[in-house]
A and B are shown apart, each in its own frame.
Chain A
């Protein structure tokens, strides 16, 4: 069964300059244990697709059409209470910028502990142990020091590992990774991707992996959808898309990357 089914999703922004069709009829499925990539250039609608899944679109944007089924639950028809139980618990998200995904005035540990406390029926001590355990799983060298550290005291790579630990702490059914390594140096990116790869396969996680980098997509994903101007122009197994792209846009994207490598 699919963990996530997105059907004909449309998210429009009503601005004074007219309607911007940021997501314009997007459909895809993510199966259990699948790593599904969404690739495209900036402004193609990747992130807004992710935010629509969590129903986090705010004014002047609106989800105008479509259905999103998560484990059979229709998310777009769900009330706020149910959505709050799903966000961060059943579906979690890791953002591009590790510096802005943590609150600067609380320690890393407090924030991960809070995520566990809100969504699980456990006490503070147990939540703390959980947080520590997941920091270790994200291969953070000195988890105790990081637990007590404030976001500004950590490097970008460590902060992003902590962000991933926070996304994992409630054992979600779906994790959205939105450009998780874009802000990192290449050597750090390679380490974080190795770590993610190991966790994803060990725990058979279902992932929506958003990136503008076809190199990262080809390293991490099973299937991929190529987005351009709010639409999916081509989708299929990563191998097929990268070896024999059918659409002109995919071809031009691949050629720009190949010219550089």
Chain B
């Protein structure tokens, strides 16, 4: 089942063609990777799909329930003056009518359930964001996204500000969540290794366009575009 379909969408900011004619289909339970360098339009595409921005032309068909987002920088995406309980509960409280929370006890129960998922102790609820490491903060941001029972999450560079050992931990968490809750991801990254680890499909973006797309294995093994080959050959592996 196709849950997101983009048909030739365009978004220009003045003379900058941030997204310049992108079409793609995201199927249910996909982890769809968008890979490209800074300024290629990845983030704008994510925002268009979420409806944060409207396209200048083209059409986006969303056949999905709730959508959520996890941003790159867990230092900026959590309100520094809110305790973790409030950070997590806000989504439930703000849109109470659309969830199965009737009262404060329900909210508390749901928040505590999600703590298990993101493997944080109950004591975390009384703390503030600055008391956590980058990896822990990103787990909180993921917990907040998952709490509202979304069907679709846009992960915009969710691990690029983290150390490599923490990156692996967060990627595994995202994988587990996908497996147990059946969520569909749009996974935006500049790092081909990360995309290969978590995604089943990938689209390579360059100056607002998708150069090629397909199953990750195919694109990595037989890149049809010169730019993809350049990107692949630039990514460094450990060759002693």
**Which A residues are closer than 8 A to B by beta carbons?**
41-42, 185-190, 212-216, 218-219, 238-239, 242-243, 252-254, 256-261
Asked whether, in the complex, the Cβ of B190 is within 8 Å of the Cβ of A186, the reply is yes
Q: Once bound together, how far apart are the Cα atoms of A258 and B22, in whole Å? A: 33
Q: Tell me, in angstroms, the Cα distance from A242 to B240 when the chains sit together.
A: 7
B238 touches A185 (CB 8 A): no
Q: Knowing A256-B164, A257-B164, A260-B194 touch, does A213 contact B236 (C-beta < 8 A)? A: yes
B108 near A: Cβ within 8 Å? no
Mask, B195-237, CB within 8 Å of A = 1, is 0110000000000000000000000000000000011011111
A214 and B238 contact, CB distance less than 8 A: yes
- Kindly state the separation between the CA atoms of A94 and B231 in the bound complex, as whole angstroms: 25
Interface contact tally, CB-CB below 8 A: 73
Contact with A along B162-200 (1 / 0, CB 8 A): 011101100100000000000000000011111011000
The listed residue (B191, B194, B234, B240) touching A187 by CB distance below 8 A is B234
* Chain B min CB distance to A181 (Å): 10
Chain A residues with CB under 8 Å of B233's CB are 190
Give the docked Cα–Cα distance between A213 and B233 (Å): 16
- Chain A residues, CB < 8 A from B191: 186
Cβ-defined partner of B164 (8 Å) among A186, A188, A219, A260? A260
- Are A189 and B234 closer than 8 Å at their CB atoms? yes
| Interface CB pairs A-B, < 8 A, 11 | A41-B163, A42-B134, A42-B163, A186-B191, A189-B234, A190-B233, A213-B164, A215-B236, A253-B165, A257-B164, A257-B238
A114 to chain B, nearest CB (A): 30
* In the complex with contacts A215-B238, A218-B240, A258-B238, A187-B37 CB distance below 8 A: yes
Is A261 a contact partner of B238 (Cβ separation < 8 A)?
yes
Distance between Cα atoms of A188 and B240 in the complex (Å)? 22
Supply 7 further A-B pairs (C-beta < 8 A) apart from A41-B164, A215-B238, A219-B239: A41-B163, A42-B134, A215-B236, A218-B239, A254-B238, A256-B167, A256-B168
Kindly list chain A residues whose C-beta atoms are within 8 Å of the C-beta of B163.
Answer: 41-42, 212
**Chain B residues with CB below 8 A from A214, complex form:** 164, 238
Interface pair A186/B37, CB less than 8 Å apart: yes
Interface assignment of B38: CB less than 8 Å from any CB of chain A: yes
| A260: B residues at CB distance < 8 A | 164, 167-168, 171, 193-194, 196-197
Contact A190 B234, CB 8 Å, known A41-B163, A256-B167: yes
C-alpha spacing A260/B236, complex, angstroms: 11
How many residues of B are counted as interface, with CB atoms below 8 angstroms from the partner's CB atoms?
A: 26
Judge whether B236 and A219 touch: CB under 8 Å: yes
- Residues on B lying within 8 angstroms of A by beta carbon are 37-38, 134, 163-165, 167-168, 171, 190-194, 196-197, 230-231, 233-240
Closest 5 CB pairs of A and B: A215-B236, A190-B234, A185-B37, A41-B163, A242-B240
Q: How far apart are the CA atoms of A140 and B171 in the complex, in Å?
A: 38
Distance between A41 CB and nearest chain B CB, rounded to angstroms: 4
CB distance from B116 to the nearest CB of A (A): 24
* Cα-based distance from A41 to B134 in the complex (angstroms): 12
B238's contact among A186, A218, A252, by CB below 8 Å, is which?
A218
Rounded to whole angstroms, the CA-CA distance of A189 and B238 in the bound complex is 15
Question: Provided the pairs A190-B234, A256-B167 are in contact, do residues A261 and B240 lie with their beta carbons within 8 angstroms?
Answer: no
CB of A186 within 8 A of CB of B168, answer no
* Cβ A186 vs Cβ B197 within 8 A: no
Most buried by A among B164, B167, B193, B235: B164
Complex CA gap A42/B238 in Å reads: 20
Q: Which residues of B contact A187 (CB under 8 A)?
A: 37, 230-231, 234
CB-CB under 8 A from B231, the residues of chain A are 186-187
Select the residue from B165, B194, B235, B240 with max chain A CB neighbours within 10 A: B240
A143 to B238, CA, bound (A): 34
Task: Name the CB-closest residue of A to B162.
Answer: A42
Check B168–A185 contact: CB distance below 8 A: no
Contacts of B164 in A (CB 8 A): 41, 212-214, 253, 256-257, 260
Q: How close is B206's CB to chain A, nearest CB, in angstroms? A: 10
A218–B240 alpha-carbon span in the complex (Å): 6
Cβ contact within 8 Å between B235 and A186 = yes
